[in-house]
Amino acid sequence: MTTRVAVIGAGPGGYAAAFHAADLGMQVTLIDAEPNPGGVCTFKGCIPSKALLHAAKVLDEAKHAGAFGVTFGKPSIDVDKLRSWKDGVVNKQTGGLGLLAKARKVEFVQGRASIADGKTLSVDTGKGERRIDTLLQQSENLSGVLGPLLRTEPIEQCGDSCMFWASARAATFLPTDRPPQCAKSNCTMSQARSAVSR
């Protein structure tokens, strides 16, 4: 297939660029490993964390409402239901972004892209390779919006046991999960990350 503009990475940077190019009348292909546009923000970061924070805020407000004479019973938390509600919020948002892409005639390709040569992308779709040819010079038409790079740096002093969940792990928590711990008080991101993978 041939496209005019190819954007790799459909996070807030990538889908905004793709939508803008489409609004300017260009033929656009947007590529991401996830099933819809949204990126880290919508699938793993801003949106799921705020959905869970909202639930926590409701619990906290109920706990303190006794101060103005409103009391509730002890809350029970159905973790499976909480998680599926959070997933529903994410699916609604990312599905909506998928519809916005369709409405603009942006072709969304799910897969992991790599640059084969100056004008061609190779996308591993999981069901085989898809080649995407672009029409202009590389600098004019290949855009990569792949999110922030991970850096290894010390986490601020966090007590004797450093409680750490990477965001993707936290967003897919299981009822039996406990935050992993790394032994050192001044653990680095890489130590914390290896604690997460244990």
Q: Is 34 in the site for ligand FAD (CB under 6 A)?
A: yes
Question: How far is it, in rounded angstroms, from Cα 194 to Cα 198?
Answer: 6
Of 38 and 182, which has the nearer Cβ to ligand FAD?
38
98 lies in the site for ligand FAD, by CB under 6 A = no
Residues 150-189, interacting with ligand FAD (CB under 6 A): 167
39 binds ligand FAD (CB under 6 A): yes
Among 4, 26, 27, 49, binds ligand FAD (CB under 6 A): 49
Contact 101, 28 (CB under 8 A): no
The only residue of 9, 97, 98, 134 in contact with ligand FAD, by rule CB under 6 A: 9
Contact criterion met (CB below 8 Å) for 25 and 40: no
When asked if residue 107 is in the footprint of ligand FAD (CB under 6 A), the reply is no
Residue from the set 147, 169, 173, 196 that interacts with ligand FAD by CB under 6 A: 147
What span, in angstroms and rounded, lies between the C-alpha atoms of 50 and 171?
A: 10
- Binding of ligand FAD by 41 (CB under 6 A): yes
Residue 100: exposure state from Cβ atoms within 10 A (0-12, 13-18, ≥19): middle
Task: For the CB of residue 66, give the shortest distance to ligand FAD in the complex, in Å.
Answer: 30
Say whether residue 137 binds ligand FAD (CB under 6 A): no
Cβ–Cβ < 8 Å for 86, 171:
yes
Q: Give the number of other Cβ atoms within 10 Å of residue 122's Cβ.
A: 15
Q: Tell me the number of residues near ligand FAD by CB under 6 A.
A: 23
Contact residues for ligand FAD (CB under 6 A)? Answer: 8-14, 31-34, 39-41, 45-46, 49, 112-113, 145-147, 167
